[in-house]
Structure 1
């Protein structure tokens, strides 16, 4: 059986294409649209509280019986560090003054939560057919709860070593996240970014190392990119950035403008917005503070202090302080419905799956 067919059978989908879950940039509407087109739509859950998660899951269930994916983070929440937080707010001080923000009124907040017993309880009521994880896997007891209703488990790897570990732990499908990918790096074994590879270098090495379907992710924004990933052994592709201009996307007007402009060709890995390396379009704060500054506290504690700057600037139409998440290839972004984009991307998949 061809790798693409094996993947489709495993996940119950028609097209070996996954819409990347993009926390803060989309909700159930995009997942529904992509799944309706025969691919695997994804719901990012790391920023959803229980009520919001329930609402989104119900919306998906009400709209379609097609398979879909729910995605969670698996980070270990850090202990707050008052001195680190103070240094971060001091770094941001001139910007608070510029935008008329009183830092004394800014509270602390986690920003993103890891997969938990509470989330598992809620998911068990809806039994999503696919559950994916970023930053490793949850503890075995939680993973077993996911498997109890028959869900398939997908997890991201940024190195061959991570892929082998995930396969040993029982992940059904491995996402090979190349260095080109937008949003947060999924690394969990090492913080050393020099160990990270580009997609077309990473995919074939993981394919040779494990006996699991491998999904290519990172820099794939059109049918040619998908074809290239399949040619080096991927069973399918995960696409995120290309969907960000679709009407189902919930990103700001400033983010949309950045993706549509020439500046989208300049991205960087940065810790500024959350405390963990993530790829986005270079903007003012990245240029002035430094993409990998050590001022922000650990992920996800950096989020609270910069959020008011983002809100104030976006209200003025500026993305100077926004996480303009994007992969290195935004050329495939199109302001068309997500289902239509999915069908266009499927052209390459059909070429590699002759009738």
Structure 2
């Protein structure tokens, strides 16, 4: 930690906490696709940093969500965007290919008791429009995954006094983010749930666990590092701080909590025996991501047909997982989860925060 050279007196008052304007250096990870405004505001009101994933939202929806957050909290919060939200190969997929994939899922639709869709379309939001909406809505903090935003965007954020956070899965990515002018970096270990946001090399070639990644990123850059991936309780926070991180980002432990936007079936699966078994797969969205291993993941993994590019594969799989969610069939849902899901024990954000703070206070006292 580089706040004042004294770990015992500075775990709360790190450079990351100071830059972000928060009391405790604990960030709630953004959940793309979930309306998590209540949880985002709760974490911020508790002294951490709540985050809202906005990859699926258009400009007007982003402004509405940010407006809602401003009514729920006076504390800082973050909006998260994907710099790369569509694979180039998407433009090469024709209607016939889509129809073939739908026919290949005929048995799945039959088992769910639903009619196959006539076609599948993936609406891709324009990154530039999203960024403009975030800035215009007076968002305090803007975080990014899957790449480095254009220089003019970073310059505009600095002009508007918006702090920026980039995401790295390797030390090389961290160096590139620092050189681009980002304010802070999330070092994302492969233990974490959701997408592996690598951008310099393929995700499958950039898999590093937190114990290796965090100190390498800390050594590689001068700006504050936020540790992420498998951090679900106070022990994980302490370990990350000892490795040199100046904040932690927590996903699965907060996803279980009320207000996250995840439904009861989803949250129950995270807290069940199934939560002990997660795998990395590109079958759900076309991009490598970690979720609970279930029948849908296994059956998709048995196919010799490669997934469609993102976001077409995501849209295709949603024709199954959407109805499955409505039917409360967890074995057919996409349930993002980190490897430490089994350590999550609270369904209230306040209790998650309290345990982490108490553990760190005790360790660093």
TM range (shorter): over 0.9
| Counterpart Cα distance in 1 of 2:23 and 2:33 | 27
Aligned residue pair count: 352
| Counterpart Cα distance in 2 of 1:181 and 1:113 | 25
Unpaired segments of 5 or more residues in structure 1?
A: none
Larger CA deviation: 68-77 vs 181-190: 68-77
Aligned to 1:115: 127
Q: Secondary structure at the match of 2:157?
A: helix
1:133 aligns with 2:159: no
CA RMSD of aligned residues (A): 2.1
Aligned to 1:242: 253
Larger CA deviation: 49-58 vs 59-68: 49-58
Please give the per-residue CA displacement for 1:147-193, whole angstroms capped at 9, x wherever unaligned. Answer: 22111110110011111101110111111100101001110111152
8 Å Cα contact 2:253-2:346 kept in structure 1: no
* 1:91-240 aligned within 5 A: 91-110=104-123, 113=125, 115-116=127-128, 118-240=129-251
1:267 aligns with 2:258: no
Q: Secondary structure at the match of 1:203?
A: helix
Please give the per-residue CA displacement for 1:191-246, whole angstroms capped at 9, x wherever unaligned. Answer: 15243110111000111111111111001100011111111111111101001221
4+ residue stretches of structure 1 with deviation over 4 A? 291-294, 351-354
8 Å Cα contact 2:275-2:341 kept in structure 1: yes
Q: Secondary structure at the match of 1:207?
A: helix
Larger CA deviation: 142-151 vs 261-270: 142-151
Larger CA deviation: 12-21 vs 79-88: 79-88
| Counterpart Cα distance in 2 of 1:324 and 1:266 | 11
Please give the per-residue CA displacement for 1:90-113, whole angstroms capped at 9, x wherever unaligned. Answer: 442321233343334343113x53
* 1:16-95 aligned within 5 A: 16-75=25-84, 77=86, 78=88, 79-80=90-91, 81-82=93-94, 84-95=97-108
Please give the per-residue CA displacement for 1:4-46, whole angstroms capped at 9, x wherever unaligned. Answer: 5211111111111111011123421111100001111111111
8 Å Cα contact 1:33-1:41 kept in structure 2: yes
Please give the per-residue CA displacement for 1:293-348, whole angstroms capped at 9, x wherever unaligned. Answer: 65321111112222121122223220233210000001343443223322222223
Unpaired segments of 5 or more residues in structure 2?
A: 5-9
8 Å Cα contact 2:198-2:206 kept in structure 1: no
TM-score (ref. length: structure 2): 0.90
| Counterpart Cα distance in 1 of 2:283 and 2:203 | 17
Relative to structure 1, the CA distance from residue 113 to residue 294 in structure 2 (aligned partners, 3 Å threshold; closer, same or farther) is farther
- 1:87 Cα offset (Å): 4.7
Aligned to 1:302: 313
| Counterpart Cα distance in 2 of 1:288 and 1:329 | 24
- 1:85 Cα offset (Å): 3.2
Relative to structure 1, the CA distance from residue 123 to residue 76 in structure 2 (aligned partners, 3 Å threshold; closer, same or farther) is closer
8 Å Cα contact 2:154-2:182 kept in structure 1: no
| Counterpart Cα distance in 2 of 1:293 and 1:200 | 34
8 Å Cα contact 1:271-1:292 kept in structure 2: no
| Counterpart Cα distance in 1 of 2:156 and 2:271 | 42
| Counterpart Cα distance in 1 of 2:352 and 2:203 | 35
8 Å Cα contact 1:244-1:251 kept in structure 2: yes
8 Å Cα contact 1:106-1:304 kept in structure 2: no
